[in-house]
Amino acid sequence: MSAMGDSGYRSLVDPEGGIVDRSIFVDDQIFNDEQEAVFTRAWLFVAHETQIPNPGDFFVSRMGTESVIVSRDRESKIHVFLNSCRHRGMKVCRYDEGNTTSFTCPYHAWQYGSDGRLLGVPQNLTLYPDLDKSQWPLVEVPQMENYKGSIWATWDADAPPFLDYLGDAKLHLDLTLDGRDGSEGGSEIIAGVHKWIIPCNWKFPAENFLGDTYHNISHESVDLIGIGPSAAAGQKGRRDADIAEYQHVWAAFEGGHGVHSALRPAELGYQPTFRDHPAVEEYYRKCFESREKRLGDAARLVPFVGTLFPNTSYHGGQPRALCVWHPHGPTSTEVWRFFLVDADAPDEVKELLRKYYMRYSGPAGMTEQDDMENWNYATAGSMGPVARRHPFNYQQSMHASSWEGPVAGQVSTQISEQNPRRYYEAWAAYMDGQSWDQIYSLGQQARGNGR
Amino acid sequence: MNQLPRTSAFFALQAEVADVLSTEAHLLDDRQYNEWLDFLAEDIVYFVPMQRNVEVGTHAERETTREGKDMHWFEDDKWTLTKRVEQILTGVHWAEEPYSRVTHLTTNTQIVTAEPSVDDATIVEARSRFIVYQNRVEYEEYYFVGKRTDTLRRVDTEIGWELVRRDVTLDQNVLLAKNLTVFL
């Protein structure tokens, strides 16, 4: 079942000792095993509904290494299909997006509707007199969820419903998807998905977004020059300092999810942001006040970053985006980055955010370029036989977390590698083929064991 | 096609613009970043959109991300480009420390428009093709290949022109590189 024989993948991950074997980041067989054990079971982000607003709209996405079509059918129902003809496997759609009434395979012209039904087969009456077309639709995911506009899917009919899958991580995803004024949902994607290839294992960036605050030093160059929305006003760093005085929290949840969010001290008021643009600053000040009014004490919590197991991450504030780290090979990751704004924000706010996101994020982003270099060479430096004899150290802030923290989950109030320890524990459970109940009781076991 | 008449003045201007683009390429390849910034007009727009795979008949509407609306690789002004140079020069921008080796090839340079006229042009629009080769650290190699349309304004500098606008069509869909630390 696995490259690890009887000992199982758990032998490569030691959350109690804070040790993870390097092979999980470079090994071909482990990568192959992940495709079945992780990516055909877990919930994966595929698209945002604002990318396919009209009947017939489609967006071609990925789940793991496989191409899928996110399609809004003529009745406006959203489907997620494997992008592969039932006859010989040709991709039935090789466009990134568009609008169509049907998907016709270029190879033998089997034709499928936007709802996935097999509509036509050439020379059907002569060649396939007994074909029951209802048995040969595009392969559709058994579970799909449109959560506040974000569309998620899993190939596992037995996977927990999406919100159960998220558990207490839901609150933090909400903080990212909800309006800046605290209203529910209402975010949209800015058109144009960044897609690029990083020569690294997909788990390096996924882990980074669990809340690796320790790597701040790596962004010294951008922090020195200042590229944030108050840079011209003299604010150094890569974003505004609005949460500098907040209590930062790192929280791990059942299922391997982990987030880094921040709590405003009760006595602290609005912290100025977007100071280079008075009208935008005024907008955010009003959002802050509305959110206070709407949410009360709960408004103190704001998002920073997080990873929802296995490979969807978010940036919750500056910038604001959903990122998917598609496995592309043991040492190759295809990143897709979807940028979020409040749909009802004024044009000048959207314009400013769009420009800020571009200079911060992605392969041309002044902040993230240095991340890509790190993940590239962390992978490259772990491939050799000697390197692989020496596991990684994940012992940062061992025994420094609490189950009774200011937010739900296992919580650290100092920079911590607790989230990756729990993430890789969940990863090993998936890889060893454990049941959903087993995977979703690891946190309780950890708590029982006093870690 | 509606192209400018191929007069001797046209060819002289075209050669002059091709020479300017070669000079610019040298500034970048020679890492004279501040001198390169001086070549950029204060009101420069540096635009590198993304390219999508779309169905025939929908290219005008869907193929390229839209300036002023969508996400792109770059939609930079002078301030942002200056920040990019400042970052490289910090010495701790790990994606360019150590520096990459970069060579810009520009070719197929043609004048598309000249205002007020080819004979006394002060604003020129030129299209060209480029190959930018990047070699990084030991084994990394990237080729960025595509099309440029540049708007140049005549100014009283040693180069004699400044870059007012650059539209880049980069011939990739999924970017086949981890980073875009090079200027195209």
In chain A, what residues touch B89 (CB-CB under 8 Å)?
A: none
Smallest CA–CA distance, residue B53 to chain A, in Å, is 5
* The CATH homologous superfamily of the domain defined by A168-448: Naphthalene 1,2-dioxygenase Alpha Subunit; Chain A, domain 1 (3.90.380.10)
Q: Are the beta carbons of A96 and B173 separated by less than 8 Å?
A: yes
In chain A, what residues touch B60 (CB-CB under 8 Å)?
A: none
Distance of alpha carbon A434 from alpha carbon A353, whole angstroms:
43
In chain A, what residues touch B93 (CB-CB under 8 Å)?
A: 221-222, 369-370
Q: How many CB atoms lie within 10 A of CB B127?
A: 14
In this predicted model, what pLDDT tens digit does every residue of A192-214 receive, in sequence order? 999 999 999 999 999 999 999 99
The mean pLDDT of chain A is: 96
* Whole-Å CA distances, A150 to A87, A178, A222, B65: 31, 11, 31, 22
In chain B, what residues touch A374 (CB-CB under 8 Å)?
A: 94
Banded pLDDT at A126 (limits 50, 70, 90): very high
Q: Is any Cβ of chain B less than 8 angstroms from the Cβ of A102?
A: no
Residues A12-37, mean pLDDT to the nearest whole number: 97
Banded pLDDT at A1 (limits 50, 70, 90): very low
In this predicted model, what pLDDT tens digit does every residue of B39-74 receive, in sequence order? 999 999 999 999 999 999 999 999 999 999 999 999
Q: Please report the pLDDT score of residue A417 as a whole number.
A: 98
Q: How far is CA B142 from the centre of its chain?
A: 17
A-B C-beta contacts closer than 8 Å: 126
Q: Which among B72, B91, B173 is the nearest to A358, CB-wise? A: B72
Smallest CA–CA distance, residue B121 to chain A, in Å, is 33
At residue A117, does pLDDT exceed 80? yes
Q: How far is CA A274 from the centre of its chain?
A: 26
Report strand pairing: A258-263 vs A247-252: antiparallel
What φ, ψ does residue B88 adopt, rounded to 5°? -60, -40
In this predicted model, what pLDDT tens digit does every residue of A363-404 receive, in sequence order? 999 999 999 999 999 999 999 999 999 999 999 999 999 999
Residues A165-182, mean pLDDT to the nearest whole number: 98
The mean pLDDT of chain B is: 98
User: Which tokens belong to A91?
Assistant: 């991709």
Distance of alpha carbon B160 from alpha carbon B164, whole angstroms:
13
Distance of alpha carbon B12 from alpha carbon B28, whole angstroms:
25
**B68 CB-contact burial (10 Å; exposed 0-12 / middle 13-18 / buried 19+):** exposed
User: Percent of chain A having pLDDT more than 90?
Assistant: 97
| 3-class DSSP assignment, residue A133 | helix
Q: Please report the pLDDT score of residue B164 as a whole number.
A: 98
Domain ranges of chain B: 8-170
Q: Please report the pLDDT score of residue A4 as a whole number.
A: 55
Nearest to A237 by CA among A211, A255, A216, A213: A216
User: Percent of chain A having pLDDT more than 70?
Assistant: 99
Banded pLDDT at B1 (limits 50, 70, 90): confident
Domain ranges of chain A: 44-144, 168-448
> What letters, b where the CB count within 10 A reaches 16 and e where it falls short, cover A158-186?
ebbebeebbbbbbbbbbbbbbbbbbeeeb
Q: Please report the pLDDT score of residue B86 as a whole number.
A: 98
- Chain B: residue whose CA lies nearest to A100: B55
Q: Which amino acid is at A185?
A: G
At residue A188, does pLDDT exceed 60? yes
Contacts of B33 (CB under 8 A, 6+ apart): B27, B85, B88, B89
In this predicted model, what pLDDT tens digit does every residue of A395-448 receive, in sequence order? 999 999 999 989 999 999 999 999 999 999 999 999 999 999 999 999 999 999
Contacts of A346 (CB under 8 A, 6+ apart): A279, A283
Q: Out of 1.10.375.10, 3.30.540.10, 2.102.10.10, 3.30.1300.10, select the CATH number for domain A44-144.
A: 2.102.10.10
User: Percent of chain B having pLDDT more than 90?
Assistant: 99
Nearest to A365 by CA among A231, A206, A221: A221
Smallest CA–CA distance, residue A226 to chain B, in Å, is 8
Nearest to B66 by CA among A293, A192, A148: A192
> If you compute the radius of gyration of chain B from its CA atoms, what whole number of angstroms results?
17
Query: Positive or negative, the Cα torsion across A8, A10, A14, A16?
Result: negative
Q: Please report the pLDDT score of residue A405 as a whole number.
A: 87
Banded pLDDT at B2 (limits 50, 70, 90): confident
Residues of A (139-198) whose Cβ lies below 8 Å from B: 190-198
N-terminal to C-terminal alpha carbon distance within chain A: 30
Distance of alpha carbon A103 from alpha carbon A90, whole angstroms:
12
Banded pLDDT at A2 (limits 50, 70, 90): very low
In chain A, what residues touch B180 (CB-CB under 8 Å)?
A: 363-364, 369
In this predicted model, what pLDDT tens digit does every residue of A309-354 receive, in sequence order? 999 999 999 999 999 999 999 999 999 999 999 999 999 999 999 9
Banded pLDDT at A6 (limits 50, 70, 90): low
Distance of alpha carbon B135 from alpha carbon B145, whole angstroms:
15
Question: Best of B45, B93, B99, B142 to disrupt the A interface by mutation (most A CBs within 10 Å)?
Answer: B93
Q: Is any Cβ of chain B less than 8 angstroms from the Cβ of A366?
A: yes
In chain B, what residues touch A376 (CB-CB under 8 Å)?
A: 178
CATH 3.40.190.80 fits B8-170, yes or no: no
Residues B113-125, mean pLDDT to the nearest whole number: 98
In chain A, what residues touch B54 (CB-CB under 8 Å)?
A: 95-98
Peptide bond just before A391 cis, omega within 30 deg = no
Q: Are the beta carbons of A191 and B174 separated by less than 8 Å?
A: no
Residues B125-149, mean pLDDT to the nearest whole number: 98
